[in-house]
Structure 1
Amino acid sequence: MIPDDDPLRTLTLANPDAPGTTYISLVGNTYGMLITGEQTNGRYCLIDMRVPDGGGPPPHRHDFEEMFTILEGELEFTFRGEKYTVGAGSTINVPANAPHYFRNISGAPARMLCMCTPAGQDEYFSRVGDVVAGKDAPAPQLTEDELAERRRHAAELAPTYRSEFL
């Protein structure tokens, strides 16, 4: 039996250029929070990821599903130790608990949409990254001590968000 419609939940229109979109700088990447877990009752989140040439996160894993649709550029995904080159127009799903990471190998900025289900990654990024003025805003210039503090904080919070660095 399908439950009744919940009129308290509204339609969400996500536009990366919309005023009020929150952009987070994290490990050199810029992540736009398009649809948050708060908007979906925790079911999923959608993040607009802008990754500079050579950029990407460190190896990690988490107990939620993560799906990426490449919009621009070419990324190399390492999944359980095997490398896959993924270009614009392709989608890749990373199953929960699987070790993975990605690198932008396109020689230019890359862009992709990342959906996580259930949500939580959006909140994690917001807690460990730095809010920036927009999608093209430069990353803050951090000292070595500030970078070390960001890494320590990210590792400390990772278990709260069902993640671990490898």
Structure 2
Amino acid sequence: MTDDTQSGAQSAPLTDVPAVSVVRPGEGETIALGTTRMRVLEDGSNTGHRLGLTESVLAPHTPGPPQHRHARHDEGFYVLAGTVRFTVGPEEHDAGPGTFVMVPAGAPHTFANPGARPARMLSVFTPDLYVQYFRDLRDTLAGGGPPTPADSLATMSRYATRPAP
């Protein structure tokens, strides 16, 4: 037992403490998706798959993905630099640094960088489901050309995602 000198209470030593993950600048898995570079900060392996977190840099004039819906995860975006345009259904929202956009499961959405400067944002996925989607999409793109619509749909459907009408 250890002694807590502030309260005088006895406590058991911590033996089942999970390891803490530290990802420093320049570290982490990098996923290139066309004009977007993504750095995986947490892929769910340290959180019991409850949470995934990425940092993305969108090159100038990046159109982003087609509008889509997720059935099994929520997705949040925190803009760090530049301006990211979020389209939710028919509404557009230009988000600058310090803006947070939360997209609950089922909401149609997409994002883009319409500006002439790079944009950088953090994306959180809960649960972590979508981090593997980006890896699968990267592998599909590595096949030598853009994926066919059928390829894209098949990859999206594996992660409970579908295009929004």
- TM class by shorter chain equals 0.7 to 0.9
Give the letter aligned to residue 33 of structure 1. Answer: V
* TM-score, normalised relative to structure 2: 0.80
1:95 deviation in Å?
Answer: 1.2
* TM-score, normalised relative to structure 1: 0.80
1:65 deviation in Å?
Answer: 0.8
In the alignment, the residues of structure 2 paired with residue 127 and residue 115 of structure 1 have an alpha-carbon distance, to the nearest angstrom, of: 18
Which has the higher relative contact order, 1 or 2, with Cα contacts under 8 A spaced 6 or more apart? 1
Larger Rg: 2
**1:58 counterpart (60, 66, 79):** 66
Matched, 1:9 2:9: no
**2:127 counterpart (118, 122, 136):** 118
In the alignment, the residues of structure 1 paired with residue 104 and residue 37 of structure 2 have an alpha-carbon distance, to the nearest angstrom, of: 23
Q: Structure 1: state its 5+ residue gaps.
A: 131-138
Runs of 4+ in 1 over 6 A off after TM superposition: none
**1:33 counterpart (31, 40, 43):** 40
Give the letter aligned to residue 68 of structure 2. Answer: H
1:106 deviation in Å?
Answer: 2.7
Superposed CA RMSD in Å reads: 2.3
User: Counterpart of 2:89?
Assistant: 80
1:27 deviation in Å?
Answer: 3.9
- Count of aligned pairs: 149
Matched, 1:99 2:99: no
User: Counterpart of 2:153?
Assistant: 155
User: Counterpart of 2:29?
Assistant: 22
